A and B are shown apart, each in its own frame.
Chain A
Amino acid sequence: MHRDHPTDEFGTPRVTVLSSGRRRALRIGLGGPVGSGKTATVAALCRALRAELSLAVVTNDIYTTEDAEFLLRHAVLPPERITAVETGCCPHTAIRDDISANLEAVEDLEAAVGPLDLVLLESGGDNLTATFSRGLVDAQIFVIDVAGGDKIPRKGGPGVSGSDLLVINKTDLAPLVGADLAVMARDAKAQRGELPTLFCSLVDPDGVAPIAGWVRERLARWRAH
């Protein structure tokens, strides 16, 4: 899932410039199982980056607008920068097989509050097979947590093995749930090769800093080509 070139794997140019001539916002998808900390990661990224970047968020809740409301309640961004997309029982369909509602949400945000530097798209909590379409996002982060069991990296799946960044959250819980971080790191390395994996604990004061750093680096590369 490397997205470092302005053409796709078949050499087709990707539309990355808006009709105004300005480069469109970088789109980063966040997927992962229910409760792993996707919304918390989005909230923390917004707090860390909102002073330096023009941000917007699209959430894909499974049956409610709870994730969008969490972000609103915690005032991580002004309400007009957060949109909830409804997914009809199938959160993975809305980010992979039929991305039209999400694309329109991104474009509407760009039109309403743009220009934007970065749009974060959060998928509904789903299983280990859910990944974002390349037609929707430029890079994707897969968020799992140590409390979900230290076997998850070994089990693999497209999110664990192919995401541009694997985040293993809640490292503070590892001793409490008997999760072996060394095993998780070794299995992640075996699944992902050179693709990066970050261990973090979002309850720490600056726990999101490594993820924010990765996002800044992606954005710099996006702007450079």
Chain B
Amino acid sequence: MSGALLLLADGRFPAGGHAHSGGAEAAVKAGLVHDADGLAAFLTGRLHTTGLTAAGLAAAAAGGFDPAGLDEAADARTPSPALRATSRRLGRQLLRAARVCWPDPVLDGLAAAYPGGAHQSVVLGLAARAAALAPADAALAAAHESVNGPATACTRLLGLDPYQVVAVLARLAPELDLVAEAATRAAAEAVRRQDAQPLPAASAPLLDLFAERHNAWKVRLFAS
């Protein structure tokens, strides 16, 4: 148990996430999510794809994998240019908050090397490392972030009962633990071999397509 992990994973941590829906706004607009059951299905899919991949990258970063190599691996796992840009923007915002909370030369170096922002999952892992957290903690935070943001977005977009939404997240928690464990194991293997290949590369093509379309909308509530 760690206070730093709770802080890093808190939706109120000022890292820019509140303005992003993780594809939920496009899914709602497309009519694919309109109630708590639809939200549960959407979040389950997101957890096992985007969430798993982000958790692996974050755990590897927390485990000491070369950040530049991981940033390339994140690019390779993010085919949508819109999502790449979003991930880097959120990475930059997270880094700003993390550097104030847990001053660390590694974080300073990352900011200098990536003025436009490193990928969010990589920054999350390095922030966890700077906070003396373990790779498993970083994986948990990444997996949690992958579903928590979109769930909050759906509360706002659809006016869903907030108790139902939080219950969806509660039912997803055991699965979230398993995803984080799998990501942590893969990351340990990647760190041992100094090779990004073992890291999860699960993708969600519909989320990629939605992100590209959403990026072109003139009227929208969320930045992504």
Contacts and interface: CB of A to CB of B under 8 A. Distances in A.
A87 interface: yes
A97 B96 CA distance: 14
Given A87-B19, A98-B18, A101-B223, 7 more contacts: A63-B219, A88-B20, A88-B153, A89-B156, A90-B18, A97-B12, A101-B19
Nearest to B20: A88
Nearest to B13: A98
Interface string B155-176: 0110000000000000000000
Contact of A89 (B12, B17, B96, B157): B157
A99 interface: yes
Contacts of A87: 19
Interface in B1-23: 12, 14-21
A15 to B, nearest CB: 11
Contacts of A85: 19
A100 B16 contact: yes
Interface in B96-124: 96-97
Interface of A: 62-65, 85-90, 93-94, 97-101, 103-104
Contact of B14 (A62, A65, A100, A104): A100
Interface in B123-169: 153, 156-157
A100 B220 contact: no
Interface size class of B (residues with CB under 8 A): 20 to 34
A86 B14 contact: no
B221 interface: yes
A100 B97 contact: yes
Contacts of B16: 98, 100-101
14 contacts: A64-B220, A85-B19, A86-B220, A88-B19, A88-B21, A88-B153, A88-B222, A89-B221, A93-B18, A93-B19, A94-B19, A100-B15, A100-B96, A104-B96
A100 B15 CA distance: 6
A89 B97 contact: no
Given A98-B14, A101-B16, A103-B96, A88 B219 contact: no
Interface of B: 12, 14-21, 89, 92-93, 96-97, 153, 156-157, 218-223
Contact of A88 (B12, B18, B89, B218): B18
A98 to B, nearest CB: 4
A62 B221 CA distance: 7
Contacts of B14: 97-100
A93 B222 CA distance: 13
B206 to A, nearest CB: 21
Contacts of B18: 88, 90, 93-94, 97-98
The 5 closest A-B pairs by CB, nearest first: A88-B19, A86-B223, A98-B14, A100-B93, A89-B156
Contacts of B15: 98, 100
Nearest to B220: A63
Contacts of A103: 96
Nearest to A99: B14
A103 B157 CA distance: 26
B118 to A, nearest CB: 14
Contacts of B17: 98
A158 B96 CA distance: 28
